[in-house]
Structure 1
Amino acid sequence: MKLDRLLTMTMILINRKKVRAQELADLFDVSVRTIYRDVETLSFAGVPVVSQQGVNGGISLIDGYRMDKQILTKEELTSLSIALKSALTSYEDTHAKAVLEKLTGIADDKVKKSMDHVFIDLSPWGQNVILKEQITLLKKAIEDEQCVSFLYSTAHGTMTKRLIEPHTLVQKGKVWYIYGYCTLRNSFRLFKISRMKDIKEAFVCFERKAVHLAELPWDKAWQQPHNLVAITLSFDESIRTLVEETFGAEHIDNEKSIVQVSLPEDEWLYGFLLSFGNRIKLIDPPYLVDIVHKRAQEIVALYQETKGEK
């Protein structure tokens, strides 16, 4: 841990002209005295670090000091920094911040400019602070191998209390999930974080199970043949671009403006189809047309009731 702290401190000092001891102490969650002992250690190791007292004082390196920058290529430095910046838009991670500081410290001016050529903001519009806090809490629980408890709401509004062994945070599309072993169902489950309420660390330790993330295990149950339904949709040409982005151009009959695709059938599918309003019409299968038609009528009836109450 001390060696990692010393390396990170060196990178910070390379990247910044001067840093106050208290700032470093807060970053590493140690005392100011420990920071000054680290400064002595760096000096003994040949790193030209100096400390100045007073209002404008701080810890710095002698001008011109550089470290070997051949650890990573310029392209690798750029790719790593972009990935870390993107991750930090969704949750707090002091380790990721420290690594980013290291990368910036060994980058030359050209690489630093290229680091800003791409920025992937994974946070939702409006900066959902609660979601960011939840993701940070869950990430810590995964790292500490601590169970978490929460109330979980299904799409129908049914609430159940869950205790899970959190294994992996998953962002699929624009939605965040936690993939973990549910003690209530005795199997792995994928939980949508927006449906989780009162998330708490349960302070119950668990031993991480073997999971093969490259196989996307959370997709397997959803994409089983018995869960899929083949649907046919007609669409308005004014939203062709949106349709191609959503369903893929390979599923579109351009001459007839028709989409033919297989999707998992559940409450999500009904809401998904209705979200297009009158710009998409479900043609097949008939039983699904009846379900969507009924849902649309219920929506109309709801607003008619509201209008009648005024």
Structure 2
Amino acid sequence: MKIERLLTMIMILINRKKVKAQELADLFDVSVRTIYRDVDTLSCAGIPVTSQQGSNGGISLMEGYRVDQQVLTKDELASLSVAIQSALTSYEDPHAEAVLEKLTGVADESVRQSVDQVFIDLSPWGQNIVLKEQLTLLKQAIESAHCVRFSYAASDGSVTSRLIEPYTLVQKGRMWYVYGYCRLRENFRLFKIARLKDIVEEETESFEKKPLQLAELPWDKEWQQPQNLVHLTLSFDPKMVTTMEEMFGLERVDAEHSIIEVSLPENEWLYGYLLSFGQRIKVIEPDHIRKIVRERAEEIVALYKEESH
């Protein structure tokens, strides 16, 4: 829309002072002639915008021009800018980039310095390009209400083809997930993006979003469903009491007796999680979990014994 383009142009010019007409034309996917018509429109509206020809020319605003920023306080501008800047480290979003450009243009130098004091980088070490591409594709499908098809590898190694109606991207525990309605399971599911392969946005397969209260964190509710939980009694090395309190919470740790009482979902993740503590944690109850962990540990020992021969 022209109004949105004009507003974005103003914010870009406030932030960058001088911009080539061709650069703006490429940004908005319009002709250079359209950009100059926009300049005339802004001038007629009382916005002090000018254009200069030549190699050092460009479109600019009169020095010192600022828009009214009373809608947001300086602290609110800084917080919003940090949040958007953080999100952009994980996926590409032209709309978010445009908003950040506008906020930067409205902000004065003190706000910009506040933003630079905090930088939240949500991307993994080594800049995982594949993950960023996946997140960008999924976000695009969510915005367009298009289904997404992919191969999903479960924790037990089985692979199934899924078609889902994606609702939201979720970052939890430093991992990215997509939450959506799975056509195969006929229910909402949380899919770990690291286990997705061959992701395709089905542009011809649209869906109508169902009522869903994402603010209530439905994926957490599913995790805590009583039928999915098993109550564990664990003993631990007394030297690890501080670590256990950090990981399981003070209310679940009996520091005096080195005991942990906790309920967790029983699945492949749980077995691997318990094994990850090595000799520092021992399962006391229930017996079937003790048996599973012991068998997995014996398999690991047997694997390394085979390699030693």
Structure-to-structure mapping, 1:148-187, within 5 angstroms: 148-187=148-187
Deviation at 1:237, TM superposition (A): 4.3
Alignment of 1:1-310 (within 5 A): 1-203=1-203, 204-308=205-309
CA distance, structure 2, for counterparts of residue 218 and residue 50 of structure 1: 52
- Structure 1 residues 65 and 270: alpha-carbon distance in aligned structure 2, compared to 1, 3 A threshold: same
Distance, in Å, in 1 between the alignment partners of 2:295 and 2:170 is 34
Deviation at 1:221, TM superposition (A): 2.6
Write the distance in 1 (CA, Å) between the matches of 2:85 and 2:42.
28
* Alpha-carbon distance in 2 for matches of 1:98, 1:269: 43
> Offset at 1:90?
0.9
Letter in 1 for 2:55: V
Per-residue CA distance 1:136-180 (angstroms, 9 max, x = gap) = 000000111111111111111211111111111111211111111
In 1, distance between residues paired with 2:301 and 2:25? Answer: 60
2: CA distance, partners of 1:64 / 1:38: 21
* Residue aligned with 2:89, SS: coil
The aligned length equals 308
135-144 vs 34-43, greater mean Cα deviation: 34-43
**What residue identity is the alignment partner of 2:22?**
Q
Residues 74-103 of structure 1 show CA distances to partners (whole Å, capped at 9, x for unaligned) of 121111111111111111011111111111
Give 1:229 deviation, angstroms. 1.1
TM-score normalised by the chain length of structure 1: 0.94
How many Å separate the matches in 2 of 1:212 and 1:157?
A: 32
Q: Report the CA distance between 1:118 and its aligned residue.
A: 2.1
In the superposition, the TM-score normalised over structure 2's length comes to 0.94
Distance 1:9 1:157, change over 3 A: same
**What SS does structure 2 have at the residue aligned with 1:127?**
coil
Give the counterpart letter for 1:306 in structure 2.
E
Q: 1:237 to 1:53 in 2, by over 3 A?
A: farther
Q: Which runs of 5+ in 1 are unaligned?
A: none
Looking at structure 1, the residues matched to 73 and 142 of structure 2 have their Cα atoms a distance apart, in angstroms, of: 31
| Change beyond 3 A, Cα 1:184–1:54 | same
**Cα distance in structure 1, aligned partners of 2:281 and 2:118:** 34
Pick closer, same or farther for the CA change 1:46–1:161 going to 2, 3 Å.
same
Name the CA distance, whole Å, in 2 between partners of 1:305 and 1:158: 26
Q: Which amino acid aligns with 1:182?
A: C
Q: Gapped runs of 5+ residues in structure 2?
A: none
Distance in 2, matches of 1:231 and 1:20, equals 65
Provide the alpha-carbon RMSD of the alignment.
1.6
- Following the alignment from structure 2 to structure 1, what is the Cα–Cα distance between the partners of residues 99 and 264? 41
